[in-house]
Structure 1
Amino acid sequence: MAQPGTVRNTLALAVLGLLIEKPMHPYEMVNTLLERNKDASVKVTKSSLYDIVETLNKLGWVEEQAIERDGRRPERTVYTQTELGRQEFIRWLDELVRTPAKEYPKFLTAVGYLGALGREGAISALTERRERLAADSQATNTSLAGILETGVPRLFVIEVEYALRVIEAELAWVTQLISDIEDGTLGWPQQQLVDGQAIWTTTDSGVTKHIAQAK
């Protein structure tokens, strides 16, 4: 039996999930993932998917079922999930659903230094991010509705719904943050000289506070 953790690329999880539905050849896998907007949660390319299928085949998680040929088109190998593959898929899926993973989004790092942009620079940057998030929200919502209209069960595209909720939550937070900066609810620290010493002060909700002495 393959050791747990042999494959960690979530594209493999997507492939194994598809093969629960029915046997497929890699070309059909790519098209199905893109049609269902799975590229919102995992990077999908033909080359990477073919590599993943080859890896899963070597591990014994999938196996060749048949070779198809349609007219003059190249032969296509149809793969099916093995019992081992199903066991590993369920084990891996259960682990990912049960245990929140620590992720390190770039925005989380950047927003921690928002003060370096200055008030106007921060408002400008956040406003543009808000506009892009709004566009992403609309596009994702439209895409999800279109997929569901084709008759695909909601459960098959539940991660698109999750991605939409994440976008909407960030959009609401960024919008509120902009408002807080503009109306002064979020104070902007400034360095001042007091009796010859550099002091950091901030004004939150109209109240000036001494927060640190510059070293």
Structure 2
Amino acid sequence: MKRRKVGNMLGLAVLSVVLERPMHPYEMAAVLKQRGKDADMPIKWGSLYTVVANLEKHGFIEAVESVKDGGRPERTVYRITPAGREEFEDWVRELVGTVDPEPPRFRSGLSMMGVLGPDQTISRLRQRLGELDERAGKQRAVLEQLRPMMPRVFLIEVEYDIAMTEAEARWVRGFLDELTSGALPGIDAWRRYYETGEFPDDLGEFVEQE
């Protein structure tokens, strides 16, 4: 992944809204929250003003005016620059076309699940599967609610979320079937290792059923 002058994903979100029209930071946050962008990317709202300042520092946005709204402090309005639009488009191209090298947290957990033993693993995966099924149901409900109001091109990320959630649920369900039926090769050796703490001298025990 390319190292960017402003790498915080909130910077990408800010560029997306000032691409439409000039805004002050408070309005940027309001629009992003209204559109649920904090569900699409990791956003820490407390860093908004720092991110805006960094975008301005590197020439991606520029101040156009300061506005006074009643008794509130003066607010600076920013617009995107040509360099900012180029950065925004390049960033989106990278996100769409490049595979993220960072492994998901679930993969990290799976790589260490031997310490839990088969029974705890089954219990935790059942919990995960229930949460995945619940999440997929909520995502489908959101999609059905938004479909009459928005073109599909603006709902693609919701479709992606549903597909990824359902794919993970299918995989977890299949692996659970192997665990609960005892069909997973080496499950007995794994259980003995968990119960005794003694790792088998012959790794073949983890490959073939006894």
Q: Which runs of 5+ in 2 are unaligned?
A: 194-199
Q: Structure 2: how far apart are the matches of 1:79 and 1:147?
A: 30
Q: Which runs of 5+ in 1 are unaligned?
A: 210-215
CA RMSD of aligned residues (A): 2.7
- Specify which structure has the higher proportion of helix: 2
The answer to which of 48-57 and 34-43 deviates more is 34-43
Identity %: 37
Establish whether residue 23 from structure 1 lines up as the match of residue 25 from structure 2: no
- What TM-score comes out, normalization by structure 2 length? 0.80
Letter paired with 1:47: G
Quick one: which of 160, 168, 171 aligns to 1:162?
Answer: 160
Assess, with a 3 A threshold, how the Cα gap between structure 1 residues 76 and 168 changes in structure 2: closer, same or farther. farther
* Superposed displacement of residue 94, structure 1: 1.8
Quick one: which of 147, 172, 181 aligns to 2:179?
Answer: 181
- What TM-score comes out, normalization by structure 1 length? 0.78
Contact 1:60–1:85 at 8 Å: present in 2 too? yes
Equivalent residue, structure 2, for 1:212: none
- Specify which structure has the higher proportion of strand: 1
Equivalent residue, structure 2, for 1:50: 49
Where does 1:1-215 land on structure 2 (aligned, <5 Å)? 5-148=4-147, 151-187=149-185, 188-190=187-189, 198-200=201-203, 201-202=205-206, 208=209
The answer to which of 51-60 and 160-169 deviates more is 160-169
Q: Structure 2: how far apart are the matches of 1:49 and 1:35?
A: 16
Q: How many residues align?
A: 199
Assess, with a 3 A threshold, how the Cα gap between structure 1 residues 33 and 83 changes in structure 2: closer, same or farther. same
Q: Structure 1: how far apart are the matches of 2:134 and 2:71?
A: 42
Q: Secondary structure at the match of 2:64?
A: strand
